[in-house]
Amino acid sequence: MVEQDKPDIWRAIVQMVIVVLIAPFIPMIISSQWDWWQAWAYAIASVLAFVLSRLIVARKHPDLIAERARFMQAKDTKPWDKVLAPLLGLGSILILVAAGLDRFYGWSSAFSTGVNIIALAGIVIGYGFSSWALVENRFFSGTVRIQTERGHHVISTGPYRIMRHPGYAGGLLGYIFIPLLFNSVWAFVPTILLMIVMVTRTALEDKTLQAELPGYREFAQKTKYRLIPGIW
């Protein structure tokens, strides 16, 4: 058992290094502009959201840390999500790459400081909402699968009282505001593509859960909206 857990621990460490020490700083690394306050604000918000949520999850649902560390090794992951899950990760990186390149080459004109501050607030709210969903849901895996070995059941508390997929909703909100914070019109290109992937994944996951997870169909009747209350 101990030997089996070691790869999971190392995967979790590698993921943490990438997410905490590399990804949030991509715009500054590419642009070579380390006095870029918007980029620092994003990096701090991103790192804090990740670290604080994982610390809480480690205390509340320690088995979820292991589940998320080995998510790509799960044999019962839905075939379509073996494509969509990596695309989400790649898309989030491409947004930051586009923002860094835009800054380096000066392709876009800057938005007002007021727009930047509103965008930062939107990112914080979005990431905070996603983190709340992660902390609330013990089955918040990295890929779509029915986790029978972990006693998978419907979670209807916390943000799940508002919508069926609050993790995606928070991420979607955050991604929309990233180009506005970084003053990058070109960053909207990967953002729009990522939004399409996220909405597609949400629809497929919801369909899977309604078909395969006991009690989810009843939950869907009570909590009507997937991502956007009053719309979808």
The pLDDT tens digits of the residues spanning 197-221 come to 999 999 999 999 999 999 999 999 9
In the predicted model, what is the mean pLDDT of residues 194-198? 96
Which pLDDT score, from 0 to 100, does residue 103 have?
A: 97
Cα–Cα distance for residue pair 116/107, rounded to 1 Å: 17
| Structural domains of the chain, with CATH | 2-222 (1.20.120.1630)
In the predicted model, what is the mean pLDDT of residues 173-179? 96
Distances (CA, A) of 25 to 30, 31, 57, 64, 100: 9, 10, 24, 27, 9
Asked if 79 and 201 count as a contact pair (C-beta separation under 8 A), the reply is no
Q: Residue 10 corresponds to which tokens in the numbers above? A: 């190392």
Residue with more model confidence, 4 or 20 = 20
pLDDT tens by residue, 81-94: 999 998 998 999 99
Residue 94, Cβ neighbours under 10 Å: how many?
18
pTM for this entry? 0.89
Q: Does the pLDDT at position 24 exceed 90?
A: yes
- How remote is the C-alpha of 144 from its chain's centroid? 14
pLDDT tens by residue, 112-160: 999 999 999 999 999 999 999 999 999 998 889 999 888 899 999 999 9
Residue with more model confidence, 55 or 183 = 183
In the predicted model, what is the mean pLDDT of residues 1-24? 63
End-to-end alpha carbon distance in the chain: 43
pLDDT band at 99 (very low <50, low <70, confident <90, very high): very high
Asked if 105 and 33 count as a contact pair (C-beta separation under 8 A), the reply is no
Distances (CA, A) of 9 to 63, 67, 142: 12, 11, 16
Cα–Cα distance for residue pair 116/1, rounded to 1 Å: 49
Cα–Cα distance for residue pair 133/162, rounded to 1 Å: 11
Which pLDDT score, from 0 to 100, does residue 76 have?
A: 85
Which pLDDT score, from 0 to 100, does residue 142 have?
A: 86
Q: Does the pLDDT at position 222 exceed 90?
A: yes
pLDDT tens by residue, 42-81: 999 999 998 899 889 989 998 887 787 776 667 888 999 9
pLDDT band at 1 (very low <50, low <70, confident <90, very high): very low
Which pLDDT score, from 0 to 100, does residue 134 have?
A: 94
Which pLDDT score, from 0 to 100, does residue 2 have?
A: 43
